[in-house]
């Protein structure tokens, strides 16, 4: 695999910082350009951060000295310095759509962490182990954009990573109804406890727009490519509640599901433990060896103990039980800024590189 030159747009935010840490020593990708808002442009990355580095690992020295470009005004220059870019910006959705599409039209593929293009019909929203085949829509998107190489691919909402993979391993049993309640870390809002002291000893029952995403996005992920667009699935029916809890990293979900076909607990757990997707087949650098881990212990998974499993790229499941209203219930967990955000974006890029979409 040749080395790809990559950029990060929105590099000073929390997800942007996570991208920088993951890319600084990546075997396939070389971090070549950083971009952010106009107020950061012209500064070194360290100067632009202004002491706001929130990762637990030190700021990589090479990245610290890199010049930061204006993501909007310098887009042609940024696009010319990278084979593709990762995008994680804090802007209004219409501006994000325009920005991402402009990079794609400059023949620079965009791996987006943003929600603005998640429901654009010819933009694939990929969880690599689940719907890698949705990349087939990219040639149709290129035709619309008038590009040879440029396109946009997005990753799904961070909370979905905690429970959609566990449901996907059971999908052929005919899932009819799902209820999910997610307990989401403050880093999902780009915050730390130092910057959000109101969340200490507190639970916030509202995360704006999160419940709609949790109910709609799985339908696109489980959809099919037809006529150059992704047609969303119509089942199962999903209802969700999303709460912000006083945890630094890690989104947990309490999930209830009903099926057309019944399966024993042994079969369900076996499906989870043996589930493999395209990243495992290709042995991609960021792919967990085992995607879904099941814990037999009654009090697992726990956020602090299990969020970093396999470099934060695995999903943890536990407490599988019968349910009086649904068929089963379980608890699941994923790391929201690794598997759920930057790590998932890097894995998606690895998949698209391996499948030839970046060339």
Catalytic residues: 158, 251
Task: Give the Cα separation of 261 and 173 in Å (integer).
Answer: 5
How far apart CA 48 and CA 4 sit, in angstroms, is 25
**Which residue is listed with tokens 């049993």?**
173
HEC letters along 198-231: HHCCCCECCCCCHHHHHHHHHHHHCCEEECCEEE
Q: Could you give the angle at which helices 14-23 and 343-354 cross, rounded to 10 degrees?
A: 50
Chain centroid to CA 234: 23
- How many C-beta atoms surround the C-beta of residue 283 within 10 A? 9
Name the phi and psi angles at 177, rounded to 5.
-140, 140
The Cα 188–Cα 108 span in angstroms is 27
- The helix (run of H) or strand (run of E) holding residue 344 is helix 343-354
């Amino acid at each position: 695999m040749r080395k790809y030159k990559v950029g990060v747009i929105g590099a000073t935010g929390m997800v942007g910082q996570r991208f920088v840490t993951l890319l600084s020593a990546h075997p396939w990708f070389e971090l070549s350009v950083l971009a952010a808002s106009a107020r950061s442009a012209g500064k070194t990355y360290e100067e632009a951060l202004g002491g706001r580095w929130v990762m637990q690992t030190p700021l990589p020295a090479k990245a610290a000295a890199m010049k930061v470009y204006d993501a909007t005004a310098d887009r042609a220059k940024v696009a010319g310095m990278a084979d593709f870019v990762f995008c994680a910006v804090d802007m209004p959705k219409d501006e994000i759509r325009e920005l991402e599409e402009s990079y794609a039209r400059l023949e620079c593929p965009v791996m987006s962490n943003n929600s603005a293009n998640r429901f654009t019909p010819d933009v694939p929203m990929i969880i690599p182990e689940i719907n890698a085949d949705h990349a087939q829509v990219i040639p149709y998107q290129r035709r619309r954009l008038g590009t040879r190489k440029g396109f946009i691919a997005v990753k799904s909402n961070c909370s979905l990573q905690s429970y959609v993979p566990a449901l996907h391993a059971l999908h052929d049993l005919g899932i009819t109804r799902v209820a999910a309640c997610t307990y989401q870390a403050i880093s999902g809002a780009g915050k730390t406890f130092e910057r959000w002291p109101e969340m200490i000893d507190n639970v916030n029952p509202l995360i704006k727009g999160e419940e709609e995403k949790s109910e709609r996005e799985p339908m696109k992920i489980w959809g099919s490519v037809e006529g150059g667009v992704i047609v969303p699935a119509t089942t199962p029916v999903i209802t969700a509640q999303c709460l912000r809890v006083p945890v630094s990293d890690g989104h947990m979900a309490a999930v209830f599901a009903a099926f057309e076909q019944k399966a024993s607990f042994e079969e369900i757990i076996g499906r989870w433990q043996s589930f493999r997707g395209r990243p495992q087949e290709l042995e991609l650098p960021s792919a967990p060896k085992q995607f879904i881990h099941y814990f037999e212990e009654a009090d697992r998974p726990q956020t602090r103990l299990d969020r970093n499993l396999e470099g934060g790229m695995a999903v943890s499941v536990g407490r599988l039980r019968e349910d009086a209203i649904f068929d089963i219930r379980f608890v699941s967990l994923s790391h929201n800024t690794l598997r759920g955000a930057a790590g998932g974006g890097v894995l998606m890029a690895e998949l698209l590189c391996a499948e030839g979409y970046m060339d």
